[in-house]
Structure 1
């Protein structure tokens, strides 16, 4: 038994006594108390009143395999879902599984990550019950060079899904973020294993903010938003199914046709299309330009003082000029 087992027995509507919890889980009341002391570590506030028991300060909707499969419908056949209470990083775990032959369509989703990762070594911070954190393994027969633009194709799938579920103001930020205004809604991290000529296995990690607490917002070092603030769906099971469904459509199309057929849609969803940007280079230098369109291989076209040039995802970070 762990803290998650006890939290799953609690609701935000009704108190439940420690005695009842102990009976349901087949443990002592002291173990219930000890488990609930860990709740604060996960950002969960538990109200306790002597004689009445315990109650959550806010509702928690837990990830549920059957619910996700029901919302996926016929597309559930493309995926093999594994849920974790806690893991270091779903990307790290799934990369290891890929190396041992895990099948295409394997999905690892976690309630809590202790070492979630973002692009360029940054940490991805989530919140229990208020973030969606998962990774998808997808195997490609093509070579690594043909996977350029994959993160942008995944971004389109993610944008389609959140738009379908109410976040109509979400836009793509090159190369791997989803934002609303200047606030980050979601991020993508793709890691590839394989050979230059193929086949290759891509682990696609996605983190989506759902309904973060003020405490979680304060702990982050950048402006963020979430599905709730955008007037969108907040049931993580519905959202995970919706994102996977879009990925099941776009990934086979990307493998067969590349990114070129998706360029126009990506540009339509581009948050900073024809906007001035500041470019933060890996060596610490900065430059400025105007973000233009996207190339067929996913590079960003920028107009600068010396003319037009291209940016590739591994090279730089991008900021809108007026947000600095």
Structure 2
């Protein structure tokens, strides 16, 4: 059996005896034991005392549709939130739903992804309860070519949400990272489908670290950080609602006017604005220069040995040269 129903019965204050768990779930004690082992494989730490039962070493703040809807208020009407205990990838599943005609505003959020993806095929996987991982389907009456700069615009929405929640120190890094001075807080992955002249469908995947265990940090191939380290003491439902609320405002504005009205705000939030930088090119070579800013279409303005060049997302990676 899945460990998720069992984990939802456990708190971190009181022990729950095994027979009580089995009765509540309508399963055998052997099934409870198997589910407990599966929970350990998910990285959930349990405290066990013979004769008293089991409890969580620390609480898990579960995603909850009603809590998100309350926090969204009137903006809840823009979204249809579906929650999953476990899924391969919210982006993959939502792209499939989009292909079958799913409506704009559909949101998939998961407690755990088994094949979560980041930019350029990198794995995205958060520890249970420690990360917010969700995808949003949004339909535009625009062609795919008219969506240039969309991932940067979404970064502005995320940054606005974090600022509204009192998170200081969160910045943007071209083209799609949310960062702070200690490392990466999260990222954005967008996938497009549609006609050249429109309409088009976009699946927007967003992942944010609320907490980051040292073991998880050590397994990553780049410096990483968490919102908790920046002082965020809220939970994932509040965070999800805050980001969706900002997207409800920004996405229609983007459809009407594109990225250009957001360029100055994006630059003001750019962690590498005016700093020495290194462009890592697809052939493995690198170019040293300065991150000058952002163009109206979302291209990076990069000052190198041969003068300014404009680079579009997907062609290169930007790294600090300091």
State the Cα distance separating 1:220 from its structure 2 match: 1.5
What is the aligned partner in structure 2 of residue 170 from structure 1?
Answer: 170
Aligned to 2:13: 13
Name 2:312's counterpart in structure 1.
312
Aligned to 1:290: 290
Query: Match of 2:243?
Result: 243
Q: Which residue of 2 aligns with 1:131?
A: 131
- The CA distance in 2 between the partners of 1:301 and 1:67, in whole Å, is 41
Looking at structure 2, the residues matched to 65 and 182 of structure 1 have their Cα atoms a distance apart, in angstroms, of 32
| Equivalent pair of 1:233/1:239 in contact (CA under 8 Å) | no
- Return the alpha-carbon distance in structure 2 between the equivalents of residues 311 and 169 of structure 1: 26
Q: Deviations over 1:257-301 (max 9, x none)?
A: 001110110011010000010111111111111001111100010
Query: Partners of 1:47 and 1:163 in 2: how far apart?
Result: 36
Q: Which residue of the partner structure matches residue 33 of structure 1? A: 33
Which residue matches 1:119? Answer: 119
Q: TM-score, normalised by structure 2?
A: 0.98
Residue 215 of structure 2 is matched in structure 1 by 215
Please give the alpha-carbon distance, in whole angstroms, between the structure 2 residues aligned to 1:283 and 1:70. 49
Give the aligned partner of residue 59 of structure 2: 59
In structure 2, the CA distance between the partners of 1:149 and 1:124, relative to structure 1 (3 Å rule), is same
Secondary structure at 1:221's aligned position in 2?
A: coil
Q: C-alpha separation between the residues in 1 aligned to 2:13 and 2:213?
A: 19
Distance in 2, Cα, partners of 1:162 & 1:9:
31
Give the 3-state SS of the residue equivalent to 1:2 in structure 2. coil
Q: CA offset at residue 215 of structure 1?
A: 2.1
Q: Which moved more, 1:90-99 or 1:275-284?
A: 275-284
8 Å CA contact retained: 1:290, 1:302: yes
* Superposed displacement of residue 182, structure 1: 4.5
Distance (Å, rounded) in 2 between the aligned partners of 1:244 and 1:284: 37
TM-score normalised per structure 1: 0.98
- Answer whether contact 1:165 1:233 (CA < 8 A) is retained: no
Cα distance in structure 1, aligned partners of 2:41 and 2:312: 38
Distance 2:151 2:258 in 1: 12
Q: Which residue of 1 aligns with 2:102?
A: 102
Runs of 4+ in 1 over 4 A off after TM superposition: none
Q: Where does 1:133-148 land on structure 2 (aligned, <5 Å)?
A: 133-148=133-148
SS at match of 1:153: helix
Aligned to 1:195: 195
CA–CA separation in structure 2 for the residues paired with 1:31 and 1:264 = 57
- Contact kept, 8 Å, 1:276 with 1:290, in 2: the verdict is yes
C-alpha displacement of 1:18: 0.4
Paired residues, number: 322
Deviation of 1:8 after TM superposition, in Å, equals: 0.5
CA distance in 1, matches of 2:291, 2:245: 30
CA RMSD of aligned residues (A): 0.9
Q: Hey, what does 1:90 align to over in structure 2?
A: 90
**How far apart are the structure 2 equivalents of 1:215 and 1:32?**
27
Other structure's SS at 1:8 match: helix
